[in-house]
Amino acid sequence: MATSQDPAKLALLTLKRHTLAHLLAAAVSELYPDAKHTIGPVIDNGFYYDFEFSPENKPTEKELKDIEKKMRKLLPSWKTVTGAEITAEKAHEIFKTNPYKLELIDEIATKKKPITLYTAGGESKTAFTDLCRGGHAENPAKEIASDSFKLSHIAGAYWRGDANNAMLTRIYGLAFDTKAELDAYENMMKEAEKRDHKKLGKELKLFTSSALVGSGLPLIQPKGMIIRKEIEDYLWELHSNRGYDRVWTPHIAKEDLYIMSGHAAKFGDELFRVQGKEEKFFLKPMNCPHHMQIFADNQFSYRDMPVRYFEPATVYRDEKSGQLAGLTRVRSITQDDGHLFCRVTQIEQEVSTIVEVIKKFYTTFGMMEGYWVSLSVRGEDKSKYLGTDEVWNLAESSLEKAAKANGINYKRVPGEATFYGPKLDFMFKDAIGREWQLATIQCDFNLPERFDLHFINEKSEKERPVVIHRAISGSLERFMGIIIEHYSGSFPLWLSPVQVKVIPVADTNVDIAQKVHALLRENNIRSEIELSHDNFGKKIRNAKVTKIPYFIIIGDKDMEAGKVTLESRDLSAKSIVDSEKGVNGQVGQLSAEEVVKKFLEEIKDRK
Ligand SMILES: [Zn+2]
Ligand SMILES: [Zn+2]
């Protein structure tokens, strides 16, 4: 999750956060003089600093307020931060009682990098000096608002993340430009906790995990599979009439494939190895090399170009088990993958089509508000990139033209291109304002070279195609995790595992309720019927917990009128809590056929 969309603003905030890590260290020095300081980097939402406290003088979460107060007290005296390069000997002398800093100093010296000390508040009695590479607010007292940061929590952390090393105490801080932004972030996190997809996934029976299967390998339950299948079908619907063909490729391939593609070197120890009886394989970390082989098997001519393959396929990466969580950090990742092979001159049109698909898809999910796109192009040092200037310029301008033609809100970000080509990365905001990088369109001049791909052009010569990698949802697992939280489990009708619940008011209404339920099922509407002997109020409350979008209520009055009463989750959420009768959020009294027609329309339009 990214926190700021403006690179310039983020760069300044990073300086403040880094300075605040020093301020935390300075406050700890004053309150815990025997604490040994180690390192304090900037993170996504603020900063942290790792300390070795003595066992008898060690803060708990309770003391964070005192440390925070001390930071605020010191801040006004930090009017400058100045740096100076010193020798390794001098550094050793200064930090002689701190083995952690000595280790860092030796490392810097071995790499022949300058050893620099920075002092904040040099004029004041409370001046504070730390070993540091630099990158600070120039005048912290002026630039950092004293209410724009706070210490959030304490955790244990091994020195350098190695379990063989000493266990240190990590103090985390949140920091933003203003108090309003800090408050907004905290509210967002509170809301995020309520919507946590791991919690909702369990409650709504969408997915599970098993210690026997292993961590990071989620198992999708029947209800979750309905959501996943709906998303997958929708994605294919968006591609099927745009010239894409479906392909299928196996989950393993010989090591040679990934050595040739370069992925063996790139993914290194993230690759799962499979030892066959005679040959060595990898579980596939990417689908691209497989698709290259399908292309290579055909003798395409310029008349066949572009060629477009689509395959939602699962790839496997051996992420560290400590980083795995729910659906968003997994070892089995199903990319809604696609590769298209085209001529350089066709990039613009092809990218335009993909952008159109992306816009349509995210409009359906209500995520277009506040989105932005990074147009990642080459940086200053052109030698880092593969391919000629001519091809790069054409590809970069094609991406930009496609973005412009589609009215896309994009920013040109120099230096962010991969070595093999420029790309468009799409950032979307969810319902509570968190930003996610989801869709991507990447030009690739590398794989066609590596696999010696070609087609025959008008002059009967071999011509190299460009490959465009594209993913719309990114990964189906991660996307599902994000939309569970985005909708807080209250999915729109087309995605809901159960679309409607038929609730007879009394036993005398059960027969007709069965008939309505059967009619809905005949029309492929995912209906459930409530047949318990609970009282009506309880039936309604039970239905509400499951976040089903619609209820059909059938009582004596409905039977007399030959109709049913339709209630919507969104209209009746309040009335159901308030009233045992639960009829305040009615859509209205309709015939069963009218209800079916309404549902089918709403499902078709993916409202
Ligand atoms: Zn620093
Ligand atoms: Zn690819």
CATH number for the domain spanning 533: value is 3.40.50.800
- Alpha-carbon span 55 to 103, nearest angstrom: 22
Q: CA separation (Å) from 112 to 106, 258, 606? A: 10, 36, 60
Q: Which among 463, 486, 509 is the end of a domain?
A: 486
Q: E-assigned strands of 293-371?
A: 307-316, 332-342
> Rounded to the nearest whole angstrom, what is the distance from the C-alpha of residue 561 to the centroid of ligand 1?
76
Per-run averaged pLDDT (10 residues), the chain, 607 residues: 63 95 96 95 95 93 96 95 93 93 94 93 86 93 96 94 92 97 93 93 94 94 97 96 96 94 85 94 94 96 97 92 85 95 94 95 95 93 84 90 92 90 94 92 92 96 96 96 95 96 93 96 96 87 86 92 90 45 65 95 94
Q: Which pLDDT score, from 0 to 100, does residue 267 have?
A: 82
Q: CATH code at 153?
A: 3.30.980.10
Q: Is residue 417 part of a domain?
A: yes
Residues 525 and 505 in one domain: yes
Tell me which residues have their CB within 5 A of the ion that is ligand 2.
Answer: 288, 469
**Helical packing angle, 536-545 and 569-578, nearest 10°:** 130
Residues 451 and 562 in one domain: no
Token reading at 431? 């319902």
Q: Is residue 201 part of a domain?
A: no
Q: Enumerate the β-bridge partners of residue 468.
A: 340, 443
Tell me which residues have their CB within 5 A of the ion that is ligand 1.
Answer: 118, 132
Residues 136 and 164 in one domain: yes
- Alpha-carbon span 17 to 149, nearest angstrom: 9
Quick one: which ligand is closest to 336's CA?
Answer: 2
Phi, psi of 196 (to 5 degrees): -45, 120
Residues 337 and 453 in one domain: yes
Closest by CA to 468, choosing from 313, 310, 296, is 310
Q: Is residue 19 part of a domain?
A: yes
> Rounded to the nearest whole angstrom, what is the distance from the C-alpha of residue 340 to the centroid of ligand 2?
9
Q: Which residues are the active-site residues?
A: 288, 317, 335, 337, 339, 423, 469
**Is 59 strand, coil or helix?**
coil
Q: Are 385 and 417 in contact (CB under 8 A)?
A: yes
Return the H-helix or E-strand segment holding 429: strand 423-429
Token reading at 604? 């078709």
Local structure of residue 244 (DSSP, 8 states): -
Q: Is residue 591 part of a domain?
A: yes
> Rounded to the nearest whole angstrom, what is the distance from the C-alpha of residue 292 to the centroid of ligand 2?
9
CA 187 remoteness from chain centre: 19
Closest by CA to 487, choosing from 579, 415, 549, is 549
Q: Is residue 570 part of a domain?
A: yes
> Rounded to the nearest whole angstrom, what is the distance from the C-alpha of residue 339 to the centroid of ligand 2?
6
Q: Which among 486, 515, 547 is the end of a domain?
A: 486
Quick one: which ligand is closest to 261's CA?
Answer: 2
- Alpha-carbon span 517 to 519, nearest angstrom: 5
Q: Is residue 376 part of a domain?
A: yes
**Is 594 strand, coil or helix?**
helix
List all residues 6 or more positions away from 220 whose beta carbon is below 8 Å from its beta carbon.
206, 207, 228
> Rounded to the nearest whole angstrom, what is the distance from the C-alpha of residue 144 to the centroid of ligand 1?
15
- For tokens 């968006």, what's the residue? 238
Burial class (CB in 10 A: 0-12, 13-18, 19+), 324: middle
- The string of DSSP letters for 476-510 reads HHHHHHHHHHHTTT---GGG-SS-EEEEESSGGGH
Phi, psi of 243 (to 5 degrees): 80, 15
- Alpha-carbon span 459 to 468, nearest angstrom: 24
> Rounded to the nearest whole angstrom, what is the distance from the C-alpha of residue 48 to the centroid of ligand 1?
13
Residues 240 and 257 in one domain: no
Q: CA separation (Å) from 453 to 18, 340, 447, 470? A: 47, 12, 8, 19
Residues 321 and 439 in one domain: yes
Structural domain boundaries enclosing 592? 493-604
- Alpha-carbon span 532 to 585, nearest angstrom: 23
- Alpha-carbon span 440 to 423, nearest angstrom: 7
Which long-range contacts link 241-248 to residues 24+ away (Cβ below 8 Å)? 242/308, 242/353, 242/357, 243/306, 243/308, 244/308, 244/309, 244/310, 244/338, 244/340, 245/307, 245/308, 245/309, 245/310, 246/309, 246/310, 246/311, 247/291, 247/294, 247/309, 247/310, 247/311, 248/311, 248/313
Residues 266 and 384 in one domain: no
Residues 238 and 278 in one domain: no
Closest by CA to 394, choosing from 440, 338, 351, is 351
> Rounded to the nearest whole angstrom, what is the distance from the C-alpha of residue 330 to the centroid of ligand 2?
19
Q: How many domains does the chain have?
A: 4
Quick one: which ligand is closest to 19's CA?
Answer: 1
**Is 20 strand, coil or helix?**
helix
Quick one: which ligand is closest to 81's CA?
Answer: 1
Q: CATH code at 229?
A: 3.30.930.10
Q: Is residue 365 part of a domain?
A: yes
Residues 383 and 525 in one domain: no
Count the Cβ atoms, other than its own, within 10 Å of residue 304: 12
**Is 307 strand, coil or helix?**
strand
Look at strands 42-43 and 46-52 and give their pairing: antiparallel
Quick one: which ligand is closest to 418's CA?
Answer: 2
Residues 16 and 148 in one domain: yes
249-278: buried (b, 16+ CB within 10 Å) or exposed (e) per residue?
bebebeeebbebbebbeebeeebbebeeee
Q: Which among 430, 457, 486 is the end of a domain?
A: 486
Quick one: which ligand is closest to 309's CA?
Answer: 2
Residues 310 and 444 in one domain: yes
> Rounded to the nearest whole angstrom, what is the distance from the C-alpha of residue 258 to the centroid of ligand 2?
13
> Rounded to the nearest whole angstrom, what is the distance from the C-alpha of residue 135 to the centroid of ligand 1?
6
Residues 452 and 505 in one domain: no
> Rounded to the nearest whole angstrom, what is the distance from the C-alpha of residue 566 to the centroid of ligand 1?
62
- Alpha-carbon span 201 to 220, nearest angstrom: 10
Q: Is residue 210 part of a domain?
A: no
